[in-house]
Amino acid sequence: MSPLLYKIAKKCLFQLNPETAHTITLAGLRMAERLRILGLIAGTPENDPVELWGLKFPNRVGLAAGMDKEADTIDAFGRLGFGFVEVGTLTPRPQPGNPKPRLFRLIPQEGIINRMGFNNHGIDEGVCNIEKQSTFKGIVGVNIGKNKVTPNDEANHDYLSCLRAAWPVADYIAVNFSSPNTPGLRELQKADSAARLLAVLKAEQSNLVSDTGKKVPLLMKVAPDMEIDQIRELSRVFLDGGLDGLIATNTTLGRGGVERHPRHQEAGGLSGKPLTKRSTEIIQAFAAELGGRIPIIGVGGIMTGDDAVKKLRAGASLVQLYTGFIYKGPNLIGDCVRAMREQSPAAKGGEA
Protein backbone atom coordinates (compact mmCIF):
# COMPACT_ATOMS: atom_id res chain seq x y z
CA MET A 1 0.00 0.00 0.00
CA SER A 2 1.21 3.50 -0.79
CA PRO A 3 2.55 5.10 2.42
CA LEU A 4 0.83 8.34 1.39
CA LEU A 5 -2.51 6.57 0.99
CA TYR A 6 -2.28 5.06 4.47
CA LYS A 7 -1.13 8.37 5.94
CA ILE A 8 -4.28 10.04 4.59
CA ALA A 9 -6.54 7.20 5.75
CA LYS A 10 -4.95 7.17 9.20
CA LYS A 11 -5.34 10.93 9.58
CA CYS A 12 -9.05 10.66 8.80
CA LEU A 13 -9.64 7.62 11.01
CA PHE A 14 -7.77 9.13 13.94
CA GLN A 15 -10.27 12.00 13.97
CA LEU A 16 -12.91 9.46 14.99
CA ASN A 17 -13.61 7.64 18.22
CA PRO A 18 -11.24 4.63 18.20
CA GLU A 19 -14.01 2.03 18.31
CA THR A 20 -15.94 3.78 15.52
CA ALA A 21 -12.75 3.93 13.46
CA HIS A 22 -12.23 0.21 14.05
CA THR A 23 -15.74 -0.63 12.86
CA ILE A 24 -15.42 1.56 9.76
CA THR A 25 -12.01 0.08 8.91
CA LEU A 26 -13.27 -3.50 9.02
CA ALA A 27 -16.34 -2.62 6.96
CA GLY A 28 -14.14 -0.87 4.40
CA LEU A 29 -11.78 -3.83 4.17
CA ARG A 30 -14.66 -6.24 3.62
CA MET A 31 -16.13 -4.01 0.92
CA ALA A 32 -12.78 -3.63 -0.85
CA GLU A 33 -12.30 -7.40 -0.77
CA ARG A 34 -15.78 -8.04 -2.18
CA LEU A 35 -15.14 -5.53 -4.97
CA ARG A 36 -11.80 -7.24 -5.65
CA ILE A 37 -9.84 -4.02 -5.32
CA LEU A 38 -8.10 -4.73 -2.01
CA GLY A 39 -5.38 -6.71 -3.75
CA LEU A 40 -4.68 -3.78 -6.06
CA ILE A 41 -4.31 -1.47 -3.08
CA ALA A 42 -2.32 -3.84 -0.88
CA GLY A 43 0.02 -5.35 -3.47
CA THR A 44 1.40 -8.89 -3.54
CA PRO A 45 1.72 -10.62 -0.13
CA GLU A 46 5.23 -11.60 0.94
CA ASN A 47 6.10 -15.29 1.20
CA ASP A 48 8.32 -16.94 3.78
CA PRO A 49 6.76 -20.39 4.28
CA VAL A 50 7.23 -22.17 7.58
CA GLU A 51 5.72 -25.37 8.96
CA LEU A 52 4.68 -25.63 12.60
CA TRP A 53 2.32 -28.08 14.35
CA GLY A 54 1.96 -29.77 10.97
CA LEU A 55 0.47 -26.56 9.57
CA LYS A 56 1.94 -24.70 6.61
CA PHE A 57 2.07 -20.96 7.28
CA PRO A 58 2.58 -18.78 4.15
CA ASN A 59 4.71 -16.48 6.29
CA ARG A 60 5.53 -15.90 9.96
CA VAL A 61 3.39 -12.77 10.46
CA GLY A 62 -0.13 -13.12 11.83
CA LEU A 63 -2.96 -10.90 12.97
CA ALA A 64 -3.45 -11.04 16.73
CA ALA A 65 -6.82 -11.75 18.31
CA GLY A 66 -8.98 -8.73 19.07
CA MET A 67 -8.94 -7.13 15.64
CA ASP A 68 -11.35 -9.50 13.87
CA LYS A 69 -13.52 -10.34 16.86
CA GLU A 70 -16.42 -11.75 14.83
CA ALA A 71 -14.27 -13.65 12.28
CA ASP A 72 -15.95 -11.86 9.37
CA THR A 73 -12.92 -10.11 7.84
CA ILE A 74 -10.51 -13.04 7.43
CA ASP A 75 -10.33 -12.91 3.63
CA ALA A 76 -9.54 -9.19 3.67
CA PHE A 77 -6.76 -9.52 6.24
CA GLY A 78 -5.32 -12.39 4.24
CA ARG A 79 -5.32 -10.20 1.15
CA LEU A 80 -3.29 -7.61 3.06
CA GLY A 81 -0.55 -10.21 3.49
CA PHE A 82 -1.00 -11.88 6.86
CA GLY A 83 0.16 -15.50 6.87
CA PHE A 84 -2.31 -16.36 9.59
CA VAL A 85 -5.30 -14.70 11.21
CA GLU A 86 -6.40 -15.30 14.80
CA VAL A 87 -10.05 -14.39 15.32
CA GLY A 88 -11.97 -13.68 18.51
CA THR A 89 -11.94 -13.74 21.45
CA LEU A 90 -15.16 -15.78 21.08
CA THR A 91 -17.25 -16.86 24.07
CA PRO A 92 -19.99 -19.51 24.34
CA ARG A 93 -22.77 -16.93 24.49
CA PRO A 94 -22.97 -13.44 22.98
CA GLN A 95 -22.02 -10.62 25.32
CA PRO A 96 -21.79 -6.83 24.92
CA GLY A 97 -18.48 -6.32 26.67
CA ASN A 98 -17.71 -3.45 29.00
CA PRO A 99 -19.44 -0.04 28.88
CA LYS A 100 -18.19 2.53 26.36
CA PRO A 101 -15.86 4.34 26.02
CA ARG A 102 -13.49 1.40 26.34
CA LEU A 103 -10.76 2.03 23.76
CA PHE A 104 -8.19 4.85 23.97
CA ARG A 105 -5.28 5.94 21.77
CA LEU A 106 -2.05 7.16 23.34
CA ILE A 107 -0.72 8.63 20.11
CA PRO A 108 2.62 10.16 21.23
CA GLN A 109 3.60 6.82 22.77
CA GLU A 110 2.09 4.72 19.93
CA GLY A 111 0.03 2.82 22.45
CA ILE A 112 -3.57 1.78 23.01
CA ILE A 113 -5.46 1.09 26.23
CA ASN A 114 -8.49 -1.16 25.86
CA ARG A 115 -11.03 -2.60 28.26
CA MET A 116 -13.29 -4.13 25.63
CA GLY A 117 -14.28 -7.16 27.72
CA PHE A 118 -14.69 -9.92 25.11
CA ASN A 119 -17.54 -8.19 23.25
CA ASN A 120 -18.66 -10.67 20.58
CA HIS A 121 -21.71 -12.34 19.05
CA GLY A 122 -20.81 -15.76 20.39
CA ILE A 123 -18.90 -18.81 19.18
CA ASP A 124 -21.69 -20.14 16.95
CA GLU A 125 -21.87 -16.98 14.84
CA GLY A 126 -18.09 -16.81 14.73
CA VAL A 127 -17.90 -20.36 13.38
CA CYS A 128 -20.51 -19.54 10.72
CA ASN A 129 -18.49 -16.50 9.68
CA ILE A 130 -15.32 -18.57 9.34
CA GLU A 131 -17.18 -21.03 7.12
CA LYS A 132 -18.21 -18.15 4.83
CA GLN A 133 -14.64 -17.03 4.16
CA SER A 134 -13.47 -18.29 0.79
CA THR A 135 -10.24 -16.77 -0.51
CA PHE A 136 -7.80 -16.91 2.40
CA LYS A 137 -5.29 -19.74 1.99
CA GLY A 138 -3.41 -19.16 5.23
CA ILE A 139 -3.95 -20.42 8.76
CA VAL A 140 -6.96 -19.51 10.89
CA GLY A 141 -6.65 -19.56 14.67
CA VAL A 142 -9.68 -19.27 16.94
CA ASN A 143 -9.18 -17.49 20.26
CA ILE A 144 -11.65 -18.63 22.93
CA GLY A 145 -12.65 -17.25 26.32
CA LYS A 146 -15.22 -17.54 29.07
CA ASN A 147 -18.30 -15.38 29.47
CA LYS A 148 -18.06 -12.63 32.09
CA VAL A 149 -20.96 -14.08 34.11
CA THR A 150 -19.35 -17.52 34.31
CA PRO A 151 -17.54 -18.00 37.64
CA ASN A 152 -13.97 -19.23 37.47
CA ASP A 153 -14.86 -22.56 39.04
CA GLU A 154 -17.13 -23.20 36.04
CA ALA A 155 -14.80 -21.71 33.41
CA ASN A 156 -13.83 -25.18 32.16
CA HIS A 157 -17.35 -25.61 30.77
CA ASP A 158 -17.11 -22.41 28.72
CA TYR A 159 -13.71 -23.29 27.29
CA LEU A 160 -14.85 -26.83 26.48
CA SER A 161 -17.96 -25.54 24.74
CA CYS A 162 -15.89 -23.21 22.58
CA LEU A 163 -13.27 -25.87 21.88
CA ARG A 164 -15.90 -28.25 20.54
CA ALA A 165 -17.64 -25.58 18.48
CA ALA A 166 -14.44 -24.23 16.94
CA TRP A 167 -12.85 -27.61 16.23
CA PRO A 168 -14.27 -28.16 12.70
CA VAL A 169 -13.15 -24.76 11.38
CA ALA A 170 -9.98 -23.95 13.35
CA ASP A 171 -6.42 -24.67 12.31
CA TYR A 172 -5.38 -23.98 15.91
CA ILE A 173 -7.25 -22.91 19.04
CA ALA A 174 -5.90 -20.34 21.50
CA VAL A 175 -7.13 -20.22 25.09
CA ASN A 176 -7.38 -16.66 26.38
CA PHE A 177 -7.04 -16.84 30.15
CA SER A 178 -4.94 -13.71 30.49
CA SER A 179 -7.09 -10.76 29.43
CA PRO A 180 -7.11 -8.07 32.14
CA ASN A 181 -10.61 -6.96 31.13
CA THR A 182 -12.69 -9.87 32.47
CA PRO A 183 -12.79 -9.70 36.28
CA GLY A 184 -10.80 -12.50 37.90
CA LEU A 185 -9.78 -14.13 34.62
CA ARG A 186 -6.05 -13.96 35.33
CA GLU A 187 -6.61 -16.05 38.46
CA LEU A 188 -6.76 -18.96 36.02
CA GLN A 189 -3.05 -18.37 35.31
CA LYS A 190 -2.14 -19.60 38.79
CA ALA A 191 -0.31 -22.89 38.41
CA ASP A 192 -2.94 -25.15 39.99
CA SER A 193 -5.83 -23.53 38.08
CA ALA A 194 -3.89 -23.56 34.82
CA ALA A 195 -3.01 -27.23 35.29
CA ARG A 196 -6.66 -28.18 35.84
CA LEU A 197 -7.84 -26.18 32.82
CA LEU A 198 -5.12 -27.58 30.58
CA ALA A 199 -5.83 -31.17 31.68
CA VAL A 200 -9.53 -30.83 30.87
CA LEU A 201 -8.87 -29.27 27.48
CA LYS A 202 -6.17 -31.77 26.51
CA ALA A 203 -8.47 -34.66 27.40
CA GLU A 204 -11.20 -33.22 25.19
CA GLN A 205 -8.67 -32.54 22.44
CA SER A 206 -7.75 -36.22 22.50
CA ASN A 207 -11.42 -37.21 22.32
CA LEU A 208 -12.04 -34.90 19.38
CA VAL A 209 -9.02 -36.24 17.51
CA SER A 210 -10.38 -39.77 17.96
CA ASP A 211 -13.87 -38.74 16.86
CA THR A 212 -12.93 -36.59 13.87
CA GLY A 213 -9.49 -37.74 12.76
CA LYS A 214 -8.41 -34.10 12.81
CA LYS A 215 -5.69 -32.72 15.10
CA VAL A 216 -6.09 -29.09 16.16
CA PRO A 217 -3.17 -27.71 18.19
CA LEU A 218 -4.06 -26.16 21.55
CA LEU A 219 -2.31 -22.93 22.54
CA MET A 220 -2.59 -20.73 25.63
CA LYS A 221 -2.06 -16.97 25.75
CA VAL A 222 -0.25 -15.51 28.76
CA ALA A 223 0.02 -12.06 30.32
CA PRO A 224 3.20 -9.98 30.46
CA ASP A 225 2.64 -9.10 34.12
CA MET A 226 4.47 -12.05 35.64
CA GLU A 227 7.58 -12.58 37.72
CA ILE A 228 10.12 -15.31 36.98
CA ASP A 229 8.74 -17.67 39.66
CA GLN A 230 5.32 -17.72 38.01
CA ILE A 231 6.90 -18.16 34.59
CA ARG A 232 8.78 -21.20 35.90
CA GLU A 233 5.66 -22.67 37.50
CA LEU A 234 3.56 -22.17 34.37
CA SER A 235 6.29 -23.56 32.15
CA ARG A 236 6.30 -26.76 34.20
CA VAL A 237 2.49 -26.92 33.93
CA PHE A 238 2.67 -26.46 30.16
CA LEU A 239 5.39 -29.09 29.72
CA ASP A 240 3.76 -31.64 32.02
CA GLY A 241 0.34 -31.02 30.50
CA GLY A 242 1.43 -31.40 26.89
CA LEU A 243 0.53 -27.89 25.71
CA ASP A 244 1.07 -27.54 21.97
CA GLY A 245 1.95 -23.86 21.82
CA LEU A 246 2.24 -20.61 23.75
CA ILE A 247 1.24 -17.07 22.77
CA ALA A 248 3.19 -14.35 24.59
CA THR A 249 1.92 -11.85 25.44
CA ASN A 250 -1.44 -10.27 26.10
CA THR A 251 -1.79 -6.60 27.10
CA THR A 252 -0.24 -5.21 30.29
CA LEU A 253 -1.70 -3.55 33.35
CA GLY A 254 1.57 -1.67 33.72
CA ARG A 255 1.86 1.94 32.61
CA GLY A 256 5.59 2.26 32.12
CA GLY A 257 6.43 4.85 29.47
CA VAL A 258 2.98 6.43 29.34
CA GLU A 259 2.74 8.02 32.79
CA ARG A 260 2.53 11.55 31.40
CA HIS A 261 -0.32 10.85 29.01
CA PRO A 262 -3.66 12.20 30.30
CA ARG A 263 -5.30 8.83 29.56
CA HIS A 264 -2.70 6.70 31.31
CA GLN A 265 -4.95 6.00 34.30
CA GLU A 266 -7.76 4.54 32.19
CA ALA A 267 -8.53 0.99 33.29
CA GLY A 268 -7.61 -1.75 30.84
CA GLY A 269 -4.71 -3.40 29.08
CA LEU A 270 -1.95 -1.38 27.43
CA SER A 271 -0.56 -2.48 24.06
CA GLY A 272 1.77 -1.07 21.43
CA LYS A 273 5.24 0.40 21.70
CA PRO A 274 5.21 0.69 25.52
CA LEU A 275 4.87 -3.13 25.65
CA THR A 276 7.66 -3.94 23.16
CA LYS A 277 10.49 -4.55 25.59
CA ARG A 278 8.47 -6.32 28.28
CA SER A 279 6.79 -8.76 25.92
CA THR A 280 10.16 -9.69 24.41
CA GLU A 281 11.56 -10.30 27.89
CA ILE A 282 8.63 -12.60 28.74
CA ILE A 283 9.13 -14.52 25.48
CA GLN A 284 12.81 -14.96 26.29
CA ALA A 285 12.05 -16.12 29.84
CA PHE A 286 9.48 -18.69 28.71
CA ALA A 287 11.76 -19.87 25.89
CA ALA A 288 14.54 -20.51 28.39
CA GLU A 289 12.23 -22.54 30.63
CA LEU A 290 10.55 -24.46 27.81
CA GLY A 291 13.80 -25.35 26.08
CA GLY A 292 12.35 -25.36 22.58
CA ARG A 293 9.79 -28.06 23.42
CA ILE A 294 6.76 -25.76 23.06
CA PRO A 295 6.71 -23.29 20.14
CA ILE A 296 5.95 -19.66 20.95
CA ILE A 297 4.01 -17.03 19.01
CA GLY A 298 5.44 -13.63 19.94
CA VAL A 299 3.13 -10.64 20.17
CA GLY A 300 3.30 -7.28 21.89
CA GLY A 301 4.59 -3.96 20.61
CA ILE A 302 5.90 -4.99 17.20
CA MET A 303 6.19 -1.63 15.44
CA THR A 304 9.04 -2.38 13.01
CA GLY A 305 10.61 -5.28 11.18
CA ASP A 306 13.47 -5.17 13.67
CA ASP A 307 11.00 -5.63 16.54
CA ALA A 308 9.76 -8.80 14.84
CA VAL A 309 13.30 -10.12 14.45
CA LYS A 310 13.96 -9.49 18.14
CA LYS A 311 10.91 -11.56 19.03
CA LEU A 312 12.27 -14.46 16.98
CA ARG A 313 15.71 -14.10 18.51
CA ALA A 314 14.09 -14.18 21.95
CA GLY A 315 12.58 -17.56 21.12
CA ALA A 316 9.39 -17.03 19.12
CA SER A 317 8.69 -19.06 15.98
CA LEU A 318 5.93 -16.77 14.66
CA VAL A 319 4.80 -13.23 15.45
CA GLN A 320 1.50 -11.34 15.52
CA LEU A 321 0.59 -7.70 14.96
CA TYR A 322 -2.21 -5.57 16.34
CA THR A 323 -1.41 -2.06 17.61
CA GLY A 324 1.58 -1.72 15.30
CA PHE A 325 -0.72 -2.51 12.38
CA ILE A 326 -2.98 0.37 13.45
CA TYR A 327 -0.17 2.91 13.78
CA LYS A 328 2.05 1.79 10.90
CA GLY A 329 -0.45 0.36 8.42
CA PRO A 330 -0.43 -2.73 6.18
CA ASN A 331 3.13 -2.14 5.00
CA LEU A 332 4.32 -3.29 8.42
CA ILE A 333 3.30 -6.84 7.47
CA GLY A 334 5.72 -6.99 4.54
CA ASP A 335 8.41 -5.16 6.53
CA CYS A 336 8.26 -7.85 9.20
CA VAL A 337 8.20 -10.75 6.73
CA ARG A 338 11.23 -9.40 4.88
CA ALA A 339 13.16 -8.57 8.03
CA MET A 340 12.66 -12.05 9.48
CA ARG A 341 13.41 -13.73 6.16
CA GLU A 342 16.67 -11.80 5.80
CA GLN A 343 17.69 -12.59 9.37
CA SER A 344 16.32 -16.12 9.46
CA PRO A 345 19.62 -17.95 10.17
CA ALA A 346 20.21 -15.83 13.28
CA ALA A 347 16.55 -15.67 14.21
CA LYS A 348 16.03 -19.42 13.97
CA GLY A 349 19.04 -19.89 16.21
CA GLY A 350 17.08 -18.35 19.07
CA GLU A 351 19.94 -16.09 20.15
CA ALA A 352 19.20 -13.23 22.52
245 is in an annotated binding site: no
pLDDT band, residue 345 (cuts 50/70/90):
low
pLDDT of residue 42: 81
Q: Which helix or strand (DSSP H or E) is residue 242 part of?
A: none
Average pLDDT over residues 44-73: 96
Domain ranges of the chain: 3-345
pLDDT of residue 48: 94
- DSSP letters for 199-263: HHHHHHHHHHHHHHS----EEEEE-S---HHHHHHHHHHHHHHT--EEEE---BS--TT-TTSTT
Q: Would you give the distance in Å from CA 280 to the centre of its chain?
A: 15
CA dist 98 and 242 (Å) reads 34
**Amino acid (one-letter) located at 190:** K
Tell me which of 161, 178, 179, 271 is the catalytic residue. Answer: 179
- pLDDT tens digits for 4-22? 888 999 999 999 999 999 9
301 is in an annotated binding site: yes
Q: Indicate whether 349 pLDDT > 50.
A: no
179 is catalytic: yes
- pLDDT tens digits for 255-300? 999 999 999 999 999 999 999 999 999 999 999 999 999 999 999 9
Counting residues of the chain whose pLDDT is more than 90, the rounded percentage is 93
pLDDT band, residue 336 (cuts 50/70/90):
very high
280 is in an annotated binding site: no
- pLDDT tens digits for 124-134? 999 999 999 98
| Residue 192: Cβ-neighbour burial (10 angstroms; 0-12, 13-18, 19+) | exposed
324 is in an annotated binding site: no
CATH 3.90.1150.50 correct for 3-345: no
Average pLDDT over residues 41-55: 90
- pLDDT tens digits for 195-205? 999 999 999 99
